[in-house]
Amino acid sequence: MTEKIKVAAVQMVSTPVVADNIATARRLIGAAKEQGAQLVLLPEYWPIMGMRDSDKVAMAEAVTGGPIQQCMADIAREQNIWLIGGTLPLVAPEAGKVMNATLVYSPEGMMVSRYDKIHLFGFRKGEESYDESQTIVPGKDVTVFGAPFGLVGLSVCYDLRFPELYRAMGPVSLIVVPAAFTYTTGRAHWETLLRARAIENQCYVLAAAQGGTHVNGRRTWGHSMLIDPWGEIKAVLPEGEGVIVGEMEMQMLNSVRDSLPALRHRKL
C-alpha cells in the first residue's frame, strides 16, 4: 500500500453554462496536479448550477456515457490522477428526474466506481426552500472503492448528516464529500459535521464544495477542506474558486487507530 499520497479538492462557483464549468474544472484540476496531487475531488453539481432545478434534468447524461463522462475520463488519463467527479446528473428510470451520481476514474481513464446520492436535501427557513426529491431519485447502495492508498468511501453533501452511512462503509482510509452546502447550513454545521465524521471513523475526510454566490442567486458556503483522522483541519479554502492540496499519511492513520482503538471497541 502507498504510504503517502497528495490529495486535492477543487472549489467552484458553478454557473448555468456547462462549457464554462468544464473549462474551470480543467484549469483547477491542472493547478492541483502542478502541486503534486494524485487524487482530485470535484464538488457537487460541478457541471451545472442552473437557474432552476429542472435544468439539471434537461442536461442529464445517459448511464452508458456522455460528453461530460468522456471529459472526466480524458482528464484523469491526461493528468495521470484519480479523479472523483463530484456529482453529475444521470438519466433516472423515473421520468423528469435524475440520479445525482459520483463517478470515479482511475489514472488510466477507466470509470471504476459510481455512487448515487442516497439522502436528498430538504430545507425551509424564511425565504430559503430546497427539495431535491422533486428532481432526484435517491440511491440505495453504500459504495467503497479500492485504490493503492487504501479504501475510499463515497458520499455526497447532505449524506454528511447521517453517520450510519459511514459506519456501513467499514474501515476506510478516506471519505470524500463533494458538496454544495448552502451558506445558512454550512456556516452552522459544515465544519462540525466533517470533523465529526473524521474523528468517529478515524480516517481522512476530503470535502470539495461549491463556494460563492451563483448566477441563480444561491449562495453556497465553500470551505473545502482536508481533515486528518484526529479531526485536525490540514487545509481549507473559505470562498471562491481554487484548490486545496494536502497529504494523506497512512502511518498517521494507523497511529491514531492504534493509540485510540475506538473502531475495535464498538459494541453496536
Q: Which of 218, 157, 220 is nearest to 187 (CA)?
A: 220
Q: Regarding beta strands 233-237 and 224-227, do their DSSP bridges make them parallel or antiparallel, or are they unpaired? A: antiparallel
Degrees, nearest 5: CA angle 166-208-136:
70
User: Three-state SS for 177?
Assistant: strand
DSSP 83: E
For residue 126, the Cα-to-chain-centroid distance in whole angstroms is 28
Q: How far apart are CA 123 and CA 244, in angstroms?
A: 29
Catalytic residues: 44, 117, 157
Rounded CA gap, 209 and 158, in Å?
Answer: 12
Q: What are phi and psi of 123, to 5 degrees?
A: -160, 135
Residues 6+ apart with CB under 8 A from 254: none
Query: Do 247 and 226 form a contact (C-beta atoms < 8 A)?
Result: no
Indicate if the alpha-carbon torsion angle 20, 25, 30, 32 is positive or negative.
positive
d(CA 258, CA 81): 30
SS3 185: helix
Cα 143 to chain centroid distance, Å, stands at: 13
